[in-house]
Chain A
């Protein structure tokens, strides 16, 4: 089932299928290794839910929820 990553539940995993964000952000995400095919897991969120900590490639990266809208993945 394909979802946008802002809707990934805590502790749920997904395989990224498409990164459709603004160019500088996409380049930044590439640097962290977030590209189609990467497995991500939502570790936790900030109290108001606007920042999400994603686990990918053995490290944890914080991203804003609004930036995750452009990233799609298949829930695992």
Chain B
């Protein structure tokens, strides 16, 4: 079978990932904002006798881009590794798309131009003449609407036929793009999207914009906390039934084996699932809707002025927002930031916002100790505190260690798009949520076993006694510090480990541990624990991601120490004041 490597190149927000998914049936995550794809993804399409291997490259505005994700694309295109290059353009702003297209045509052989988003262009009254465009560029041109799966057959056919050398115009690429776009598009009716424009203006307006942003985040957190409550209780009930059943079934095993398997592995694993799965299953779809609509760039737009005051830019607000889902993803997402200094700063401060793995701890402590306030408000306050912390530390870093000249902020605000709800549900639920849950479970099982052994050999007691003085100094205790140490592999482990550490025997004999927490923790301990949950070392996945992104041991150490130092100082002070 013949094998062809096909690279997809284009501006951000032109639907490359949607096209990629439609072609390969793969589920690369899509979203309506510049910087969603920061690494390359590959997928395969077999048709007749050819096997097409598609490579989805990060979106870029030119082949001389400054940010890390753009450099990935530039390096790939310049290496000429692909047998075919599909240059994806936006039918509704062709003159901008063609600037990159012409640059790519000057270095790539066997290119096909794919004018995507034709459905959107049609809505805006723009018609594109594909034949004329093909003549002007000297390469095959296919018109597609990837979201509706229109034109995909023709695109694949074009990949089979292409062989002509491109005759890229040798004049200035912007002039050429202008001229060609003008001659190949016709405005049938000057129809402006007045509705979308009004909404857009409202969302960034003085009176409405920022309050809406806060209410939106609060709403999402409230829905997550409130909605996670019921399935969480249900799951816990099911798991405790399973616990009794499992103990009965494994009755033939010796006591220690039963302890490791049931009280260690099963109890920890099931608790991790029941505390983390429900919030995630609600948070991720909601967040994906925001991504799909295109609200995130507006948020960055609104957040740029305060971020600029801390020496960052609006894009850092985006990466912090991604950090709410998972800090490792947020750290990788920092590739979209142009200036190396701002990027480093954003990487180091990303774990200041609580990720989904830390939500369960905050929800649990919030609802146990501050019932009158409501867990949602507590979690929202924690998120706000995390953002403030990230901004404050960014400000300090930018004024001291990372000083250099300020960089500019240039970011596209794509038009609003209707979210594809069905797809969102499937993608975010099945793929993102389950994937992260499985990852946590993989860590939880061995950790549970290890913990049971540590608890029952008395080691945990010794360790916790050893850590008691520093723990008390920080307003917590040794057992809580142990829990933080053990949850280094995954923050989701914190609650189960904490429960196991405080029941001295080292097992969760009754599956209801909440009352137990109330007996060993005061509201002051709870506050300090929550603050330390916000500000302590990031999980090991995030730390490894920091190392991968910065290639620097110093930076990785800084990513570990910075939040830890902030947490220690805050907790120490809180302990003195409260």
Chain A residues within CB distance 8 Å of chain B? 21-22, 24-25, 27-33, 35, 43-48, 50-51, 53, 56-64, 67
Contact yes or no, B62 A67, CB < 8 A? no
Name the contact of B61 in the complex, choosing from A31, A47, A58 (C-beta under 8 A): A31
Cβ-defined contact, B409 with A62, below 8 A: yes
Question: Which residues from chain A contact B331 at a C-beta distance below 8 Å?
Answer: none
B576 interface contact, C-beta 8 A: no
- Mask, B26-66, CB within 8 Å of A = 1, is 00000000000000000000000000000000000110111
Report if B352 contacts A (CB, 8 A): no
Whole-angstrom distance between the Cβ of A31 and the nearest chain B Cβ:
4
A47-B174 in contact (CB<8A): no
Which residue of the partner chain, among B93, B201, B407, contacts A59 with CB atoms under 8 Å? Answer: B93
* Contact for B305 among A29, A32, A46, CB less than 8 A: A46
The range of chain B's interface size is: 35 or more
CB < 8 Å neighbour of B66 from A24, A43, A45: A24
B93 to A64, Cβ gap below 8 A? no
Chain A residues with CB under 8 Å of B210's CB are 47
Docked pose: A45 CA to B409 CA in angstroms: 14
A33 touches B99 (CB 8 A): yes
A28 and B305 contacting across the interface, CB-CB below 8 Å: no
Q: Across the interface, do A50 and B408 meet the contact criterion of CB distance under 8 Å?
A: no
Is A47 a contact partner of B206 (Cβ separation < 8 A)? yes
Question: In the bound complex, do residue B301 and residue A62 qualify as a contact, i.e. CB atoms below 8 Å apart?
Answer: yes
- Interface status of B360 (Cβ within 8 A of chain A): no
Whether B206 contacts A64 by the Cβ 8 Å rule is: no
Q: Residue B412 contacts which of A35, A47, A51, A60 (CB distance < 8 angstroms)?
A: A60
B489 contacts chain A at the CB level, 8 A cutoff: no
A-B contact pairs, 8 of them (CB 8 A): A32-B410, A44-B205, A56-B96, A59-B90, A59-B414, A62-B297, A62-B409, A64-B308
Cβ-defined partner of B409 (8 Å) among A21, A32, A51, A56 = A51
Whole-angstrom distance between the Cβ of B79 and the nearest chain A Cβ? 21
> Beyond the given A35-B174, A53-B413, could you list 11 further A-B residue pairs with CB under 8 A, ordered by the A residue number?
A25-B408, A28-B61, A33-B174, A47-B210, A51-B305, A51-B409, A53-B204, A57-B96, A62-B301, A62-B410, A63-B408
**Residues from chain A with Cβ under 8 Å of B414 in the complex:** 59-60
- How far in angstroms is the closest Cβ of chain A from B284? 27
CB distance from A73 to the nearest CB of B (A): 16
- Please tell me if B94 contacts chain A, counting CB pairs below 8 Å: yes
Check B242 for interface membership: any CB of A closer than 8 A: no
The CA-CA distance from A50 to B408 in the complex, in Å, is 12
Of B92, B174, B304, B415, the contact of A46 (CB 8 Å cutoff): B304
Which residues from A are CB-within-8-Å of B209? 46-47
Task: Check A62 against B61 for contact (C-beta < 8 Å).
Answer: no
Which of B64, B96, B100, B415 gathers the greatest number of chain A CB atoms within 10 Å? B96
Residues of A within 8 A of B410 (CB): 25, 28-29, 32, 61-63, 67
Which B residues are CB-close (under 8 A) to A22? 408
B484 to chain A, nearest CB (A): 39
Asked, given contacts A59-B414, A62-B409, A62-B411, whether A30 binds B62 with beta carbons under 8 Å apart, the answer is yes
Partner of A31, one of B62, B201, B297: B62
In the assembled complex, which residues on chain A have CB atoms less than 8 Å from the CB atom of B94? 58
Closest to B91 in A: A58
Closest Cβ–Cβ distance, residue B305 to chain A (whole Å):
5
Is there contact, CB below 8 Å, between B93 and A58? Answer: yes
Tell yes or no: B549 within 8 A of A by CB.
Answer: no
Report yes or no: B95 in contact with A33, Cβ–Cβ below 8 A: yes
Bound-complex Cα distance A13 to B545 (A): 45
**Are A31 and B413 within 8 A (Cβ)?**
no
* Residue B314 interfacial (CB < 8 Å): yes
Do the beta carbons of A24 and B301 come within 8 Å of each other?
A: no
Q: A46-B301, A46-B305, A62-B301 are in contact. Are A33 and B409 (CB under 8 A)?
A: no
Determine if A48 and B93 form an interchain contact, defined as CB atoms under 8 angstroms apart. Answer: no
Residues of A within 8 A of B200 (CB): 43-44
Cα A36 to Cα B297 with chains together (Å): 26
* Least distance between B107 CB and chain A CB atoms (Å): 16
Given contacts A28-B338, A47-B209, A50-B305, contact A33 B408 (CB under 8 A): no
Smallest Cβ-Cβ distance to B204: which chain A residue = A44
Q: A54 CB to closest chain B CB, in angstroms?
A: 10
What's the least CB distance linking A52 to chain B, in Å? 10
Q: A29-B410, A60-B413, A62-B413 are in contact. Are A53 and B338 (CB under 8 A)?
A: no
Chain A residue, CB-CB nearest to B95: A57
Q: Which residues of A sit under 8 angstroms from B301, Cβ to Cβ?
A: 46, 51, 53, 62
